[in-house]
Amino acid sequence: MIAHAEPSSKPTSFEVRILRQSGPGEPGRWERHRVNYEPQLNVISVLQKIAAQATTVDGESTTPVAWDCNCLEEVCGACTMLVNGKTRQACSALVDRLLEEDPSGFELRPMSKFPVIRDLMVNRSRLFQALKRVHAWIEVEGYHEAGAGPRISPQEQQRAYPLSECMSCGCCLEACPQYNNVQGETNKAARSTDRTEYRSAAEYGTAVHTELRDAIRKQEEPNLRPEVSLLKTLQETGELPREDRTNYGKKGSIRVDVLENTETGTVCVYDIKTGKVNLT
């Protein structure tokens, strides 16, 4: 039962349902907490209040919920979790807005595409490894005197700068429902392809890509299409694209390994790499 404060329409308290997990691979369990309403709370400050209470809604003592955060201003991505089923940063999830949607409270879960370390804290290290592999940063940054520094071509700057803007939050992986499926098929394709049988990394890469393409085709998932060729954008080519899809190898086209059109309208692009270090 929710008690309402007068004359405001805000509740005097609200419930927070949290999916907890005591460690990697452990089963999840739901825990309910009641928190007194205050204006301008965000989800992180609610978690701090819950840690201080250390008691569930049923009056049982409990351990503090584990979560990750750092910048508290939607810059580092560390606090990303599922708030009412939507992936977002907890530090910018305002309780007043959440209570407008549902005055009884809200639900918190860890992201589902990363291994859970504990409660709402997940291991995003594979994101960082992938960014390291594609060298997703610009070499010289900051205002300090660092000498002449390495020369970077304008083309290289254009490639690296958008990548360097990624804050490694993981939202994009969470928003692509087929991510685990495509990653699983990629791993299978890599395991069933013996690198030593190929004369070059390029030949090995083609073999893995072919294996993945066939596996995705076999699934006959209407939202998932392997090896789609798209025309590059106006920004990239300086020409207006004349059609949405095109043939492989056509001038100005780009090949996408797997394309997913989700129910929400999000388009997910899966690009597998078989290069220097590992398969991603």
Tokens of 85: 């089923």
**How many Å apart are CA 122 and CA 116, to the nearest integer?**
4
Least distance CB 86 / ligand FES (angstroms): 15
Binding site for ligand FES (CB under 6 A): 69-72, 74-79, 89, 91
Residue 45: count of CB within 10 angstroms of its CB = 16
Least distance CB 225 / ligand FES (angstroms): 33
Could you tell which of ligand SF4, ligand FES, none binds residue 76, using a CB distance below 5 to 8 A set by kind? ligand FES
Could you tell which of ligand FES, ligand SF4, none binds residue 231, using a CB distance below 5 to 8 A set by kind? none
Comparing CB distances to ligand SF4, the nearer of 165 and 220 is: 165
Could you tell which of ligand FES, ligand SF4, none binds residue 130, using a CB distance below 5 to 8 A set by kind? none
Least distance CB 75 / ligand FES (angstroms): 5
**How many Å apart are CA 189 and CA 205, to the nearest integer?**
10
**How many Å apart are CA 132 and CA 129, to the nearest integer?**
5
Could you tell which of ligand FES, ligand SF4, none binds residue 78, using a CB distance below 5 to 8 A set by kind? ligand FES
Binding site for ligand SF4 (CB under 6 A): 77, 166-172
**How many Å apart are CA 49 and CA 202, to the nearest integer?**
54
Please, are residues 111 and 170 in contact by the beta-carbon 8 Å criterion?
yes
Least distance CB 156 / ligand SF4 (angstroms): 19
Which of 8, 168, 183 is closest to 77 using CA atoms?
A: 168
